[in-house]
Structures are given as structure tokens and as C-alpha cells.
Amino acid sequence: MTDEPSNGAADEAVPGAEGAAPDAAGEPSAEPEQPTPEQPEAETSEQPEAEQPEPPEQPEQPEAEQPEEEGAGQPEPDQPGEASPAERPKAKDQPPGAELEPIAIEPERELSAEERARLEAEEEERARLEAAAEAGDEPVARSGPQVAVPADARIQATGKRKSSIARVILRAGDGGFEVNGHRLDEYFPRQNLRTVARQPLLTAGYESTVDVSVRVHGGGISGQAGAVRHGVARALCEIDPELRPELKRRGLLTRDARKKERRKAGLKKARKRPQFSKR
């Protein structure tokens, strides 16, 4: 009789003891078992690592959006089209002469007949001016003739230059000049050659008091002009012997011995040798 109340008091004192302890028959209680404290901690620890989102990357701000205080010290380009000093290539990176402008070279083209004639005329004019300048350097020996040439006189002389030989005949006249039956300006097309042929007459002052007739052969026109000058100077010395010192001083009475040098055996020209080969 004393055991029953004690059992009831014990049941009231420990509530939920029936669920914690198995029945007398050994079956678990109807209430589900609570998870152990270790299991939720493992799940919670794994979950944030797998699902934790990465922080978003902040976009870089361009240099133009920097505050005015930072960009105040940077120099701005003079014009909007020019590049800033930072963008310009460095001088050491460029090859020497890269800043120079290339020179445009025009391709050579064949000259037309008109252009060739114009160039030849310019060369003749240049040669004429040079000959006139050379003739003007030396003053004339006489302003006029000192000896009158007889009307029936016929003075002959021979002049030479290179391979050319000229036979000159002087007569009293008014300044006519013929070479092989042609006028002087027709036979010698260049002004400097005509000046060379008439040089002794201009020096002595007999250019308008005698007529000159010449027969010349051999050589070219340049050598023939020198031969005519030599012959005319010799003929003037026959008319007036006092002209000899002055004409000789100017070199008009001396035969010009310069001529083309002959070719030698084993050479291409007078002195040009073939290329030497060591092996």
C-alpha cells in the first residue's frame, strides 16, 4: 500500500520521463528523436562556405572622373586633336630621321624634241656669255688699224690645231668672213666658235678693214675654229709686224699642241686599264 503513492509522485516529479526512457516492452517512444547538437553545426558550417556569394568587383573609375585636385597639376594638350604627352612616342623609340619628311623623287622621262632644242639653246647662250666674258677680260691692243692694206694685196698664212689645217687669205675689204665658201655664222653654228675665229681681228682692230677667206679641212669644228684663229693671227703679223709682241703675249701665234692621246696596247683607251683581278 505504501508503494503506489510513491510511484505516482515520482511520475509527477519527472515529466517527460516516459518519452526519454523506453517502455517496459522495449519500444521507442512515439515522439521523434531530437537531432544531436553536433549535426546542425556541421551542416551550418558547410552551407555558408558553398553558398557564400563573392563580393562584386568595383568598376575602375576613368582618369577623367578623378577630382579636380588630382588633375589640376597635369598639363592639358594644346589642341583637342593633339595627343597628350603620355601618349606621344618617346624619342628614343624612334629611329634617327623619323621626323624628317621624305623627298619625292620624280621618275626620269624622255625629253621631247622641243625640250631638247630648248636645252641646246640654253647651253649655246651660256657658252656665248662665257666666251664674251673671256674676251672682255683682255683689252684690245689697238682701237683701229695702224697700217692701210693695199687694194691689190693678198696675204696668205697657214694655221693648225689638232688635225685641222686652215689656209687663210687676207684682202682689203669691209669685214667679210668666209669659211669654205660659207659665211662664218653658217659654218660655225656656235657663238663661242665664231668668237674664237674672229679673236685676232678684234684684238688688232682690223675687223672692219679686211676680208678673210679660209679653206679648212680635217678635224672637227672646234679644231677648225682654232686653226682659223692661228692662220688669221699669222696673216695679221705679215701686214703689221708691230702686232707680233701683243698677239704672242695672248697666245694667238702659238700652235696649240694639245690633241687626243693615242691608245696603248693592252689598255681600253689612252690610259684606261681593264679591271684588275687578283684571282
pLDDT at 40: 47
pLDDT above 70 (res 236): yes
- What mean pLDDT is predicted for residues 64-93? 54
Q: How many helices (H) and strands (E) does the chain have?
A: 9, 5
Say which DSSP state 159 is in: E
Lowest mean pLDDT among 49-63, 121-135, 257-271: 49-63
Length of the chain: 279
Look at residue 261 and tell me whether its pLDDT is greater than 70: yes
The pLDDT tens digits for 146-157 are: 788 888 889 999
Rounded CA-CA distance 199/188 in Å is 14
Residues 186-190, mean pLDDT to the nearest whole number: 93
First to last CA, the chain: 147
What is this structure's pTM? 0.51
Does position 136 have pLDDT exceeding 80, yes or no?
Answer: no
Q: What is the pLDDT of residue 150?
A: 86
Q: What pLDDT does 147 receive? A: 81
Range of weakest confidence among 84-88, 112-116, 159-163, 215-219: 84-88
Predicted local distance difference test score (pLDDT) of residue 19: 45
